[in-house]
Structure 1
Amino acid sequence: MTLIQLEYIVALDTLKHFAKAAAHCHVTQPSLSMQVQKLEEELGVQIFVRTTPVTTTDTGQLIIQQARKVLTEAANIHELIEQEKSIVGGNLKIGVIPTLAPYLLPRFVQSFTQTYPKVKLSIYDLTTENIVRQLKNGNIDAGIMATPLGYAELKEDFLFNEEFVAYVSTTQKLFDKRFLLPTDMDINNMWLLEEGHCLRNQVINFCAIQKIASTEKHFEYSAGSIETLKRFVDTNGGITLLPELATYDISDTQKNMLRYFKSPAPVREISLVTLKTFNKRRLINILKNTILENIPEQMLQKKKVDVIAI
C-alpha cells in the first residue's frame, strides 16, 4: 500500500470517473486503474464497483475515510518541517458559515495573503453541518463558525462574540422603542433564514418564537441570505435579526432601523474550529491573530452577554 494508491482511490471516490480521476492526479487512466486494482488485490476487498458513474462499496467507504486521514497526516509532515525552519507557508483550507463569510472575510483575507504570501489560503462557504463533516473527513483544516458545538473530537478556539441586532421596519410599533426585549419579537412579523442555517436556529432559540406563533401567516418565505432578509424588511415591512458584522456597511437610513437589545446582549459565539489532532497550530494561531486584528475593536470589548445556543 502506498500514498499514491491512497491518493488515487480518494480522487476516484470524489470524481466517480476513472478518466477524470486520472486527469486530476496527472496520470494516465490505465496507470490509475492498475494501481487501484493492485490495492484491492492486496487488501482482498472490492473498493469500487465499475459502473457509470463509479460507485464505492460499503467497505470501500471505510477505506476511503481512513485514506483521507492518512493523506492529511502525511501532508502535515511538510508543514512541521516548514515550522521548524520558521517558514510560514503551506496550504490552509477553511470553511466559513454563509451568514459570516460576506462580512468577515473582506476584513482579513487581503491582510493575511499579503503578509504571508507562501500560504495558499482556500476558503469555502459551508453550513455548520457541512463544516463538521468536512473537518472529520480531512477535506478542510478549520472552520470559522458559531459555537459551542459539543463534539468531543473538535477543538473550539474562541474568536469573538457577535451581537444580535433587530432590523425593524418603520411601519412596526417596535420602531418607536429604543431598546428591545426577547419577548418583543413576534413570529408573525419576522423574516427568517431557510432551514440549514445555524443563525435561523439561534433566532428561534433566542426569541422562543416557536411558542408564540398565534396566527396563520398567508405568506411565508425563508431567505437564503442576510441581504435578502434586509431587503424584505425594507420593501415589505416586518422584522429580522442581523448579526453585528452585517450592520457596519449599511446606509444611514438602514442604520436608523437598527434596534439593540437590553443587557445582557444576545450574541452568537464565533470560534475557529479544528480537529484536536490537527498539527498546523502555528498557522492557525497566525490566522486567528490576523482575524482579531481586523475586526471592529468594539466587538472585542468585554461586556455582559447572553450566548444563544445553536
Structure 2
Amino acid sequence: MRAHVRWLAVACVALACVAMGAHAGKVYRWVDKNGVVHYGDRPPPDAKLEGQQVRVIPVRAEPGAMARLRLEREEGMSLAFADNAIAGPVEVLLKFTKSVNTRGEPELPARATVPANGSVLLARLMPVRAGAGEFGLAMEVVPGDPRATPDDIVYGLPIPREKLRVEQGFNGRFSHTDTQNQYAIDFRAAQGTPVLAARAGTVMQVESDFDKAGLDLEKYGGRANYVRVLHDDGTMALYAHLREEGVLVRVGQRVRTGQRIGLSGNTGFTSGPHLHFAVQVNRGMKLVSIPFRMTGVTDRP
C-alpha cells in the first residue's frame, strides 16, 4: 500500500490515506411477505418462517488488507500510523518511495510490530528545511510477531483419522519448494471433508469467498480459501484450499484442538481437492514454514 504527500509549506500539509479493500462475496435478494424487495450481505434470519424467496447474487471478492497506512496532520509534520485489521499481530515495514525535502523520525525504512486490532505510530514526517517538498510512502505487511518462539508440541490431525492420506509432505517437489510451504503437508480430502483444529488458538484470518482453482501459479498462487489460527507461542497454523463458504469459524474466535473449523475444498493453486496444512512464523518480514510433529504423520521434524 502506498501514500503520496506534497508539502505545500512548512506548516501546511496535504494528507493521503490508503483504505482497506472491500471484502464481500455475495449479495442476497429477497421479497418479503408484503412484496417488498430487499438486498443485504446476509440472508434474512426469518426467511424460512415467512416463506421468503432468497436469491444469491455472486459478487467478485477481493481479500481484505491486513493493515492500513494512516496519515494524520500535526503542526509542521505528518504522523504515519499502521492500523492492524486482523485478530493477531503483524509486522510492518514503512519506507519512502519518494523523498524531496522530507525526513522521518525515526529514519525510514522503519519496522514495527502492531498488536491484534491495534495501532502503532511508525514515524513522524517533516521537512528538512523551509520550502516545498514531496514524499511517497509504501508499507509492507507480514502476519505474525517476529519474536515468536515455537513450543515443542505434537499437533493433532487436521482431518478425521479414517480419512487420513498424505499426498505431499515436507520439501514436496510439486509445490513445497518455497519458504512459506517447505514444511507443509497436503492431505487428500474430498470436498466437504471436515477440517479440524490441530492445535488450540485464536482465529486470526479467514477467506471463504473464492470459488476458482487451477494450476496457473500467477493466477491462483496467491488466492485460496483458508483459516489462519494463532497459537499461544506466536506460531500460526494455515489450513488452506477450503471450499467456497467452507469456513465454519469467525475471526477472533478461540478454538480448541479437534474442533471443526472448516470444510475441505479445491480452491486456489491446486490440482485437486485436498487440505494444505502448515505451521508458520514471521522471520525478518518474511513468512516461513517450520518443521512440526503430528500424531500419526510425523514423529519428528
**With structure 2 as the length reference, what TM-score do the two structures score?**
0.21
Structure number, greater radius of gyration: 1
Structure 1 or 2: larger helix share? 1
Structure 1 or 2: larger strand share? 2
**With structure 1 as the length reference, what TM-score do the two structures score?**
0.21
